[in-house]
Chains A and B, each alone.
Chain A
Amino acid sequence: MVYGSVFPLIYLAVFWVLYRHEKIPLMHHAGEWLTVGVLGGASLGLPTTLVGERERGVWRRFRLTPVALWHVVASTIAARYVIILGAGALQLAVALAVGMPVPGHPLALWAALSVVTLAFIGLGLVIAALADTVPAVQGIGQCVFLPMLVVGGVAVPVAGLPEWAQQFSAFLPGRYAVEALQACVTGGGLGAARFPLAALAVIGLAAGAAGAKLFRWDASQRFLTLRGKVWLVPALAAWLAVGLWAGLRSRVAVVTPPAVVVAPMPLPEPAWMKLTDTDIDALDFHVPSDGGVVAPFAAADEPPDENTALLLVDVAAALPTWAPGRVDDDEQAVRNLLCVCAVPDVVQLSGERYVPLLVLDHLSQRYPKDQLVKLLAWVALHPDDGTVLLDLNELGIPGSVGDSNQVRERSYLYALKFIMRLTGRKPPARIK
């Protein structure tokens, strides 16, 4: 009951949840959830029942009668076939009820499900022959069940497995069961499933013969003392033969899964981007005059002397590739570039008033105007954040500053002066 009805519906629910985002529910994984249901009923449920009844002495009672072994095996297979097909029908009914379309080839699906069921029943008979006790059934059954589920193409589609697992799955009947059933749901029907059906038939017949030959009536008959263990060889050989046959027929078909393009996570918007005109208008634009000692600023048409001109040429050439001005953090990059204005101002370099022109020009080429205004405003609103540079020897500007607060103060002033030039603001009138 549990393996025959409850587990198949649980598997169906699991697949429904796993692939809930698909447009057509369950259809493209029908081969998988049907196969998992059959595996549970045939490779775990059947041997659990057989061995449990053997342990209790049920088969011993049958052994007292003249009933032939093949009658017992055939009736066991028939009963389990009905149970498993019933479970499959239940799964399909539920799948249809939640929106899966009718399979493309319903009769072919019944035929394929029959082949799959009989193949795995054969496997279940072998497990029952190997196991002396019900706990042993669970152990052996899981050793068969789990590899098929995980790397055998049953719970995880073959296309999604690594190459070695795709090769390995060619030796396991689970893969062929999924292929055969899926072909009847969304593929070309039985015609498209000839190889998997043939593979299942070979494996199932060999396993069924071995399981019947090794059938034990009595719990006192232990596997190790059983005669006829050689029948396991053809059962195992069938798996090997199928895998090799698949390789020869190029049926392993190592499929590279489509590249999964992962969209980069969008970076959160930097805080300075959220500044508004109101925030910028709130800045105090009372700044020293451009002609003064603090934060001097040459006019655009004011020519430098020869030595200053040479310095400016060198600085202009170095600025575009200067590393501190190209850091990824735009706020810090602007701070660093403002230091190019601030340090000459603090050390009172002879060409100090001309350097801001270069820096503003460089910043204007690098950032759109509205972004640059916001960046400068952010620096002005947070003068103590980030780091400041105390010497600019890399740019060929001599001198260094011992007090970072001075650099921060001049950077603040130059930020305001840049904003005023970019936005056309005039300094507010001084209160007399």
Chain B
Amino acid sequence: MSAHVVVTDLTKRHGAVQAVRGVSFVIARGETFGLLGPNGAGKTTTLECLVGLREPDEGRIEIAGVDVRAAPDAAKERLGAAFAGSALPDQITPREALRLFGAFYREREEPAVLLARFALTEKADVPFATLSTGQRQRLALALAFVNRPEFVVLDEPASGLDPQARHELHAYIAAMRREGRTVLLATHDLHEAEKLCDRVAIIARGKIVAAGTPQELAAGTTSFEDAFLRLVADEAEGTRT
């Protein structure tokens, strides 16, 4: 598969803290790529640099050959994103939000299609403030698809969801995978990463400590979870096995 997203030596500091330290990875077209790490590992900062929410200190990011730092708007036309900590004005309805955000792109999906796809038709015309957490998360996903993106970035999409809502979300991500979309999924949930991702990069203390398929990462250990915990602990101690 050809490279769709290329991240090279990404570095970002928050004051005296180096949140991202020389992160590099490649995501193939149509691949679901997981960025797995504990809280504070640098996952969100990496994704924020990727989508243009933050300006990296160093490094290069390419999405479908477009340099994100040189042409951020062109890059944004190609990607969709759903980030934790994003919200909408209280009184806007899902239908209005999809119409509004769709207007920002050259190519856009019909709101009715997205409302149906993410089971929001019944809530299409109610204010955002009245939506449940699961409904808000589905709306965030719908908004991520409003421009028919080639590349979708999801930052902890299951955060705060109950088991049923989490199951529904996983079904949506699995559907994206079947559709052949390129997906970058940041998560601290091992099972989510193992279940949904083709390949996973484990990030700890701002550094990629290992990358590969879940099976490759689990090789030589009892389980993927065991491999993850060992890798993270080694990074914390400053040694690699």
Contact = CB atoms under 8 A, between A and B. Distances in A.
A71 to B, nearest CB: 8
A163 interface: no
A105 interface: no
Interface stretch (A58-66, A272-280, A352-360): A58-66
B87 A61 contact: yes
Contacts of A65: 76, 101, 104-105
A217 B83 CA distance: 14
Contact of B89 (A58, A63, A66, A217): A58
Given A57-B85, A58-B87, A218-B53, 9 more contacts: A57-B83, A57-B86, A58-B86, A64-B51, A64-B52, A65-B104, A66-B74, A66-B76, A66-B77
A57 B87 contact: yes
B169 interface: no
Contact of B87 (A56, A66, A218): A56
B190 to A, nearest CB: 27
B41 interface: no
Interface string A150-167: 000000000000000000
B73 interface: yes
B77 to A, nearest CB: 6
Interface string A42-81: 0000000000010011101101111110000000000000
A275 B52 CA distance: 96
B85 A60 contact: yes
Contact of A58 (B51, B73, B76, B88): B88
A53 B89 contact: yes
B40 to A, nearest CB: 14
A218 B88 CA distance: 13
A217 B85 CA distance: 13
Among B51, B52, B86, B88, the one with the most A-chain Cβ atoms within 10 Å of its Cβ is B86
Contacts of A64: 51-53, 76, 81, 83, 86
A68 B104 CA distance: 9
A60 B83 contact: yes
Contacts of B85: 57, 60
A90 to B, nearest CB: 20
Contacts of B73: 66, 68
Interface of A: 53, 56-58, 60-61, 63-68, 217-218
Contacts of B52: 63-64
A60 B47 CA distance: 13
Interface string B81-109: 10101111100000000000100110000
Among B72, B88, B143, the one with the most A-chain Cβ atoms within 10 Å of its Cβ is B88
30 contacts: A53-B87, A53-B89, A56-B87, A57-B83, A57-B85, A58-B86, A58-B87, A58-B88, A60-B83, A60-B86, A61-B83, A61-B88, A63-B52, A64-B51, A64-B53, A64-B76, A64-B81, A64-B83, A65-B101, A65-B104, A65-B105, A66-B72, A66-B73, A66-B76, A66-B77, A66-B104, A66-B105, A67-B104, A68-B73, A218-B53
Nearest to A218: B53
Contacts of A218: 53
B90 to A, nearest CB: 9
A348 B132 CA distance: 111
Among A53, A56, A63, A218, the one with the most B-chain Cβ atoms within 10 Å of its Cβ is A63
B105 A63 contact: no
A56 B88 CA distance: 8
Contacts of A63: 52-53
B57 to A, nearest CB: 14
Among A58, A63, A64, A68, the one with the most B-chain Cβ atoms within 10 Å of its Cβ is A64
B109 to A, nearest CB: 14
A67 B101 CA distance: 9
Contacts of A53: 87, 89
A66 B103 CA distance: 10
A53 B87 CA distance: 8
- Per CB-CB distance, the 4 closest pairs between chain A and chain B, nearest first, are A66-B73, A65-B104, A61-B86, A66-B76
